Amino acid sequence: MLRRVGPDDVTAARVLPVDADTLAAAAQIVDDVRDRGEPALRHHAVRLGDLPSDDTPMWLDRDAMAAAARALPPADLALLERTAGRIRAFADAQRAALAPIDVAVPGGRAGHTIAPVERAGCYAPGGRFPLPSSVLMTAVTARAAGVDTVVVASPRPTPVTLAAASVAGADAVLAVGGAQAIAALAHGAGPVPAVDVIVGPGNRWVTAAKQLVSGFVRIDMLAGPSELVVLADDTADADTIAADLLAQAEHDPDARPILVTAHPAVADAVDAALARQLAVLPTAATAGAAVRDHGRCVLCASHAEALATCDALAPEHLEVHTASATDDAARLRHYGGLFVGHASAEVMGDYGVGPNHVLPTGATARSTGGLSVFDFLRIRTWLKLDGGADTRAAAEDAARLARLEGLEGHARSAERRR
């Protein structure tokens, strides 16, 4: 089921988040929405199937979201509220880890303050599998950061998606997706305000548009196909590993389910389990395609090489199924989300046990982390000098350094503080 490769083969198989053709086509949509606003947004939304007609409402307010929440079965609404509470508790703890600073510097004091952005756009996919969990992950986190205005964008939102937006405290839902939604969030269009940050997972059109607008607004990341790497030794349970790999594979035919092990017998057992479970999986068409086309089993010469392979992959999700899972986790360096031990299923992270499920893909975990309250916050620095002797000494140094760089105007500005 999983194509067997060596460490060198799989670590080289990095995938760009978006191809050039999609980027070029998305640019036409983004430019049109930027230039023409709401008429262009509606045109593309109807053309691409987000809205059935020009007169279909695309801007759903708090009353519409609240009505959807009231119409849900009570058990479903309670589930959304419990999940939102767990996400909020983790995000609140992250926010509490940051504090302003106020320190002495030559001639005065300096520091930083922490402030949320004013407006956030939270994208939630609505295609093959609508994801209300992504609404909670993004909008709840934005609110925990203190964002004033939170807009959720999701094409053809289901009642549970609208209910999730209500539970998360969103201000409105834009019932549009794709590049046209991202463009509207970035530049504003009709009732859609221009936001300061855009976050959330999406398809290649969403990713392309996020790349295109990143010069106007902050984005969280450019996410490609979903990835799960499972590190396993001979104590691992093959059926559990297969179930976890298939859970990722059913996201998308381009998903990347990968097993890393130094034990051929484990590879054999996982292959057999995959075949058995795929035979009775309702999403086998999607999951099977991902396993066949992108699934890999990396056979390593040693456990140390398996650990190094996981670091080289720097995957979105990394599960550790080994006898020494806690120690192995401490040795691993590059991953979006880490899941330690048999009980720590990646799907538990998907569905709001605590940490966010919006995570970096394509080895970008080497340089960035997952979505958090930090994506909605700004660190603003300040400086207040008193003009005394220490200020004059610092000004002399500034003037001298400016002249080393050939910037006489800078030097003269500094010298006015001597």
Q: What is the pLDDT along the chain (418 residues), one digit of tens a residue?
A: 999 999 999 877 677 788 999 999 999 999 999 999 999 999 999 999 999 999 999 999 999 999 999 999 999 999 999 999 999 999 999 999 999 999 999 999 999 999 999 999 999 998 777 889 999 999 999 999 999 999 999 999 999 999 999 999 999 999 999 999 999 999 999 999 999 999 999 999 999 999 999 999 999 999 888 999 999 999 999 999 999 999 999 999 999 999 999 999 999 999 999 999 999 999 999 999 999 999 999 999 999 999 999 999 999 999 999 999 999 999 999 999 999 999 999 999 999 899 999 999 999 999 999 999 999 999 999 999 999 999 999 999 999 999 999 999 999 999 999 8
pLDDT of residue 12: 73
Within 8 A by CB and 6+ apart from 327, the residues are none
Phi, psi of 217, rounded to the nearest 5 degrees: -135, 160
- Contact (CB, 8 A) for 238 and 270: yes
| Crossing angle for the helix pair 408-415 and 389-404, to the nearest 10 degrees | 170
Active-site residue (options: 227, 316, 319, 346): 316
- 3-class secondary structure, 302: coil
Task: Give the N- to C-terminal CA distance of the chain in Å, as an integer.
Answer: 74
Q: Compute the residue count for the chain.
A: 418
Let me know: does 274 contact 2? Beta carbons within 8 Å.
yes
Rounded alpha-carbon distances, angstroms, from residue 348 to 146, 270, 342, 353, 391? 26, 21, 12, 6, 55
Nearest in space to 316 (alpha carbons), one of 225, 233, 254:
225
405 is catalytic: no
User: What Å distances lie between residue 156 and 125, 134, 176, 205, 362, CA to CA?
Assistant: 9, 15, 7, 16, 28
Task: Report the topology of domain 3-15+224-355.
Answer: Rossmann fold (3.40.50)
Backbone angles phi, psi at 165, to 5 degrees: -65, -40
Strand-pair partners of 379: 114
Looking at residue 193, its pLDDT comes to: 98
Annotated active-site residue in 187, 294, 317, 334: 317
- The two beta strands, 317-321 and 108-116, are unpaired
Stretch (H or E) spanning 402? helix 389-404
Q: How many other C-beta atoms lie within 10 A of the C-beta of residue 181?
A: 33
Query: Is 257 within 8 Å of 281 (Cβ atoms)?
Result: no
Residue 38, number of CB atoms within 10 A of its CB: 16
Question: CA 119, CA 217: separation in Å to the nearest integer?
Answer: 10
Active site residue 317: yes
How far apart are the C-alpha atoms of 194 and 187, rounded to whole Å? Answer: 5
What is the per-residue pLDDT for 86? 97
- Kindly give the residue spans of alpha helices, DSSP state H, lying in 107-158: 132-135, 141-145
- Each domain of the chain, given as residue ranges in start order, spans 3-15+224-355, 20-219, 387-415
Nearest to 214 by CA among 225, 203, 202, 206: 206
Q: Which helix (H) or strand (E) holds 59?
A: strand 59-60
How high is the pLDDT of residue 128? 72
Pinpoint the alpha helices (H) of 314-379. 325-331, 346-350
Which of 191, 205, 95, 178 shows the shortest CA–CA distance to 149? 191
Q: For the structural domain made of 20-219, what CATH number should be given?
A: 3.40.50.1980
